[in-house]
Amino acid sequence: MNIDAAFTPDEVQALSGKVCIVVDVIRSTSTLQVIYSRNPAKVILTPTVQKAMKFAAQQTVHPMLCGERGGLIPEGFDRGNSPREYADLDLTGRTVVFTSSNGTRAVADVNLAPYVFLGSFLNAGAVVETALSTAVKNGLDIVMVCAGREERFAIDDAYCAGFLISQLLSHIPSDQGFELGEGGQAALAIYGYYRDPLKLFQNSGAGKAVMSIGLADDLPYLLQPDLYPVVPTLIQRDQPASKWGFSLLI
């Protein structure tokens, strides 16, 4: 098994042999874990606001439109991309359509992988356990796919990827062989270097953008490990629906 990290989605090669964990820690993969904890009936991701609006207009029962562009709620949407705004919602029976600037694009970029999970600090233990068991069962490699920011390297995603790799390595049985790719080594080094994750988040491009729109309290919230043991999972055509499955509209 090869374990690696890609700092932007376009770095991922040979998708057919990969279990992908998409990381957009500030904030969409984190927010979606909170959304799933509120028991929605169905979640649909799409990389564009236009597709989200078009899908909603075609439905008899209007879905909840959620997400952001430039950190802000798009016109006509119901909710944004702050995980804290979903923490106390009851989404039972609701259909949620979600789009974001970077995270949903990253999911679309790797959707041909046989397994795509969403990861962050909030579900770290659950997502690495799920990814490891899936990879071992199916003879696949594991790659942390950083969404990045505007298709470029993002230090916050790289740091989170390093944390997830550290968690993954601690779960590998002693008799399970693996190789750690250079991207994975770099992510681990980034995680080991920074001793104050909140300060790192605050100094990152994404963190500064979040603070500029008055949502600085999101940043410490995002750093809580294992707060939501849910693993959002892309439903592929040949796979049955799962408890935390989501569809992709592209």
pLDDT of residue 175: 87
What band does 101 get if pLDDT is binned at 50, 70 and 90? very high
Nearest to 82 by CA among 64, 95, 100: 100
pLDDT of residue 237: 77
Instruction: Give the Å distances, CA to CA, from 151 to 35, 103, 117, 181.
Output: 25, 10, 19, 21
* Residue 178 exposed, middle or buried by CB count within 10 Å (0-12, 13-18, 19+): middle
Question: Counting every residue, how long is the chain?
Answer: 250
Q: Give the number of domains in the chain.
A: 1
Average pLDDT, stretch 239-245?
81
Average pLDDT, stretch 78-105?
97
pLDDT of residue 176: 86
Res 241 pLDDT > 90: no
Burial 118-139, CB ≥16 within 10 A → b, else e: bbbbbbbebbbbbbbebbeeee
Q: What angle do CA 37, 38, 39 make, to 5 degrees?
A: 95
Average pLDDT, stretch 84-110?
97
User: What is the CATH classification number for the domain harbouring 76?
Assistant: 3.90.1560.10
pLDDT of residue 23: 98
What band does 103 get if pLDDT is binned at 50, 70 and 90? very high
The predicted model scores a pTM of 0.97
pLDDT of residue 66: 98
Rounded to an integer, what distance in angstroms lies between the CA atom of residue 228 and that of residue 236? 23
- Using one digit for the tens of pLDDT, what is the confidence trace for 9-51? 999 999 999 999 999 999 999 999 999 999 999 999 999 999 9
Average pLDDT, stretch 95-122?
98
- Using one digit for the tens of pLDDT, what is the confidence trace for 115-164? 999 999 999 999 999 999 999 999 999 999 999 999 999 999 999 999 99
| Residue 47: domain span | 2-248
Average pLDDT, stretch 83-105?
97
- Using one digit for the tens of pLDDT, what is the confidence trace for 158-200? 999 999 999 999 999 888 889 999 999 999 999 999 999 999 9
Rounded to an integer, what distance in angstroms lies between the CA atom of residue 184 and that of residue 17? 17
